[in-house]
A and B are shown apart, each in its own frame.
Chain A
Amino acid sequence: MKPNLLDVDNVSKTFAGRGLFSRRMKRAVRNVSFSLDADRPEVFTIIGESGSGKSTLASMILNTARPTGGSIRFEGRDLAHIRSRRDRVAFMSRVQAIFQNPFDAFNPLKPVDRYLYTAAEVFSGCRTKEARETRVDDALHKVGLSLAEVSGRFPHEMSGGQLQRIAIARALVSSPSLIVADEPVSMIDASLRMTVINLFRMLRDDLGVSIIYITHDLATAYYISDRLIIMQTGEVVEAGDARQVLAAPRHPYSIRLREAVLSVDGAWRGTGLDAEAIQPSLR
């Protein structure tokens, strides 16, 4: 039987508390499990507010942090067995990452294309300049750009949407089968946001790449995801089909989260917030 693309098996992450004598433990992620099927590429969304542990979970899947409990297997292989640089490179060529702030995700002192070339060289073994350029140009075309538009440009010359598309192209250079995107559109202007979101759909449908989409925004999650989990203080409180969960959440926290989403319908009815009791939920 073919192994799953990704198995997150009862994963926990505990941080030692700061301080010399106070050994308070902070449990950032607690007993999280889910799997992604290798034959059915999907957009799998992790929803959570700040402090929910969603970013910690993401870095464990990306193998930049080690779980303190449970295991993560990619294509049947435990990430804990990745030790050598060669193993890490092989892993990264299959699992790639996209970050939150496109304005910070490129070294401001260097042209943006060097990341693409490096990826082509390291992951795809392109020895010659021509091979690298072809590879990079291919990846850029997939996100609607071309090497001519990007070559030699500095990050400050580009918009957030363009930069994020370049970041996606950069992740695509090695033809990965999984991309982890941590809040990829929260810093992008509304008019450019959907371009990036639609790219994920294209990656899934046309290229067969699975996406783990991490966000706090339920509306984009509804728009793009196939399945989702909702996390609160390190735990998964609800999981399932994205549309079903968001249409009718069951866990009290999911319900509160769902109710807090501001819908544009408020403006239509002219009611907006007035319907709410002014008694707010004090934290």
Chain B
Amino acid sequence: MKPYLTYLSKRLLQFAVVVFVGINIAYVVTHSTPINPVEQTISAATAYGSTSPEAIEMMRRSLSELYGLEGSPWQQYLSFWQRVLVGDFGPSLSAFPTPVSELILRALPWTVGLLLVSTLLTWFLGNLLGGLAGYYRENRVLRAFGVVTAGLHPVPYYVVAFVMLLAFGYLWPILPISGGASMAADRTDVVGFALDVVIHSILPVLSLMAAGIGGWFMGMRSLVSNIVTEDYVTYAELAGVRRGKILRHYVMRNAIGPQVTGLALQLGAIFNGAIITEQVFGYPGIGSLLISAVHAGDYSLVLGITTISILGVSTMVLLIDLLYPLIDPRVEAA
């Protein structure tokens, strides 16, 4: 048990460092601007309509407080942390007076659902096929799959999503290309609504998978082709252990550890991809919310989403790290 505790304390410390550095970056970015963010925000927020001078003055005051521009720098810094820790980012400016936290909570399930489904599917399929491709090197189908994913891999999420949109929105319109569910969906019909949600998620999930699967596939394939030359695999082969068993318990089992670590390291990048994909397909998650918040000049919402993203991703990474010892008994060495 003791090695696990050591491991646990290390991971928790790293988690604290990530959150600390991440939130500080957000702080430095928001406080290092050469322009006055209050005036900037007011002019952006009031650009498309007439707002009464009193309302603007009120806005100016609440904004100054919101930006943490009141008091000494040290007080500003502390109050920034306070807001982060309590999760209170004030009211949204674009959807006044709805609190930012409520908007985020509304969008969060969509993003989490999309991320969870697409990431697990991508990781699982990519590793499975990659492992098979590494073990059965002569298989034509797997080889062809390797070429296709290698071609897709370097293309960024946005381009993949955009091409998907073109293909299924204009060339062959069989799937809904926008939104998380139909506008007119009857939410009391649970089965029908669930089906509607699933159908709407197909394109975003597919494009996330298309952009992400190549990395796992190629990573796993090269891992496996290294592992098959390891002595313990050769030895099992010499002992006449069945191939299926070797593949599962000797090859894949040893390759999965690095790939789990890889998942933890890639999570930030996957999250970036999800944000962009959501925007392309108008999916009502965190990503779309963030981008519309930027367009609407909603400072509190942008800051709220940024900090929540940092917290969320690092928490997920921590969870993966904590599960890792289940996969590798040699955790002490980690």
Q: What residues on A are CB-neighbors of B10 within 8 Å?
A: 20
Determine whether A19 belongs to the interface, using a CB cutoff of 8 Å to chain B: yes
CA distance A20 to B334 in the complex (A): 13
CA distance A20 to B7 in the complex (A): 9
Q: Which of A19, A20, A22 contacts B13 (CB 8 A)?
A: A20
Determine whether A21 belongs to the interface, using a CB cutoff of 8 Å to chain B: yes
Chain B residues 182 to 224 lying within 8 A of chain A, measured CB to CB, are none
Measured CB to CB, the nearest residue on chain A to B333 is A18
Chain A residues 1 to 43 lying within 8 A of chain B, measured CB to CB, are 19-22
Measured CB to CB, the nearest residue on chain B to A20 is B9
CA distance A122 to B264 in the complex (A): 48
Determine whether B141 belongs to the interface, using a CB cutoff of 8 Å to chain A: no
* Binary flags per residue of B8-48, CB closer than 8 Å to A gives 1, else 0: 01100100000000000000000000000000000000000
Q: What residues on B are CB-neighbors of A22 within 8 Å?
A: 2, 6
Q: Report the minimal beta-carbon distance from A241 to chain B, rounded to whole angstroms.
A: 43
CA distance A21 to B10 in the complex (A): 10
Q: What residues on B are CB-neighbors of A21 within 8 Å?
A: 5-6, 9
Q: Report the minimal beta-carbon distance from A26 to chain B, rounded to whole angstroms.
A: 14
Q: Report the minimal beta-carbon distance from B10 to chain A, rounded to whole angstroms.
A: 6
CA distance A104 to B131 in the complex (A): 33
Name which of A20, A21, A22 has the most chain B CB atoms within 10 A of its CB.
Answer: A20
CA distance A126 to B219 in the complex (A): 51
* Binary flags per residue of A51-80, CB closer than 8 Å to B gives 1, else 0: 000000000000000000000000000000
Q: How large is the interface on B (under 10, 10 to 19, 20 to 34, 35 or more residues)?
A: under 10
Measured CB to CB, the nearest residue on chain A to B9 is A20
Q: What residues on A are CB-neighbors of B13 within 8 Å?
A: 20
CA distance A21 to B2 in the complex (A): 10
Q: What residues on B are CB-neighbors of A19 within 8 Å?
A: 3, 6
Q: What residues on A are CB-neighbors of B2 within 8 Å?
A: 22
Q: How large is the interface on A (under 10, 10 to 19, 20 to 34, 35 or more residues)?
A: under 10
Q: Report the minimal beta-carbon distance from B269 to chain A, rounded to whole angstroms.
A: 29
Chain A residues 180 to 194 lying within 8 A of chain B, measured CB to CB, are none
CA distance A146 to B17 in the complex (A): 58
Q: What residues on A are CB-neighbors of B3 within 8 Å?
A: 19
Q: What residues on A are CB-neighbors of B9 within 8 Å?
A: 20-21
CA distance A132 to B5 in the complex (A): 58
Q: What residues on A are CB-neighbors of B6 within 8 Å?
A: 19-22
Measured CB to CB, the nearest residue on chain A to B12 is A20
Measured CB to CB, the nearest residue on chain A to B3 is A19
CA distance A94 to B34 in the complex (A): 61
Q: Report the minimal beta-carbon distance from B1 to chain A, rounded to whole angstroms.
A: 12
Measured CB to CB, the nearest residue on chain B to A22 is B6
CA distance A3 to B107 in the complex (A): 80
Chain A residues 126 to 152 lying within 8 A of chain B, measured CB to CB, are none
CA distance A22 to B4 in the complex (A): 12
CA distance A22 to B332 in the complex (A): 12
CA distance A22 to B3 in the complex (A): 9
Measured CB to CB, the nearest residue on chain A to B8 is A20
CA distance A22 to B5 in the complex (A): 10
Q: What residues on B are CB-neighbors of A20 within 8 Å?
A: 6, 9-10, 13
Q: Report the minimal beta-carbon distance from B2 to chain A, rounded to whole angstroms.
A: 7
Q: Report the minimal beta-carbon distance from B3 to chain A, rounded to whole angstroms.
A: 8
Chain A residues 83 to 140 lying within 8 A of chain B, measured CB to CB, are none
Q: Report the minimal beta-carbon distance from A102 to chain B, rounded to whole angstroms.
A: 24
CA distance A22 to B1 in the complex (A): 13
Q: Report the minimal beta-carbon distance from A240 to chain B, rounded to whole angstroms.
A: 40
CA distance A22 to B7 in the complex (A): 11
Q: Report the minimal beta-carbon distance from A97 to chain B, rounded to whole angstroms.
A: 29
CA distance A19 to B334 in the complex (A): 10
Q: Report the minimal beta-carbon distance from B27 to chain A, rounded to whole angstroms.
A: 28
CA distance A16 to B28 in the complex (A): 38
Measured CB to CB, the nearest residue on chain A to B7 is A19
Measured CB to CB, the nearest residue on chain A to B10 is A20
Q: What residues on A are CB-neighbors of B5 within 8 Å?
A: 21
CA distance A20 to B14 in the complex (A): 12
Measured CB to CB, the nearest residue on chain A to B2 is A22
Q: Report the minimal beta-carbon distance from A253 to chain B, rounded to whole angstroms.
A: 29
Q: Report the minimal beta-carbon distance from A146 to chain B, rounded to whole angstroms.
A: 41
CA distance A209 to B220 in the complex (A): 54
Q: Report the minimal beta-carbon distance from B4 to chain A, rounded to whole angstroms.
A: 11
Chain B residues 290 to 328 lying within 8 A of chain A, measured CB to CB, are none
Chain B residues 267 to 300 lying within 8 A of chain A, measured CB to CB, are none
CA distance A78 to B2 in the complex (A): 41
Q: Report the minimal beta-carbon distance from A23 to chain B, rounded to whole angstroms.
A: 11
CA distance A162 to B238 in the complex (A): 37
CA distance A20 to B2 in the complex (A): 11
CA distance A20 to B3 in the complex (A): 10
Q: Report the minimal beta-carbon distance from A17 to chain B, rounded to whole angstroms.
A: 10
CA distance A19 to B6 in the complex (A): 6
Measured CB to CB, the nearest residue on chain A to B13 is A20
Q: Report the minimal beta-carbon distance from B325 to chain A, rounded to whole angstroms.
A: 14
Q: Report the minimal beta-carbon distance from B148 to chain A, rounded to whole angstroms.
A: 37
| Chain A to chain B contacts (Cβ below 8 Å), 11 pairs | A19-B3, A19-B6, A20-B6, A20-B9, A20-B10, A20-B13, A21-B5, A21-B6, A21-B9, A22-B2, A22-B6
8 further contact pairs, Cβ within 8 A, besides A19-B3, A20-B9, A21-B6: A19-B6, A20-B6, A20-B10, A20-B13, A21-B5, A21-B9, A22-B2, A22-B6
Interfacial residues, chain A to chain B (CB-CB below 8 A): 19-22
When A and B form their complex, which 8 residue pairs have the shortest distance between CB atoms, in order from nearest? A19-B6, A20-B9, A20-B10, A20-B6, A22-B6, A21-B9, A21-B6, A22-B2
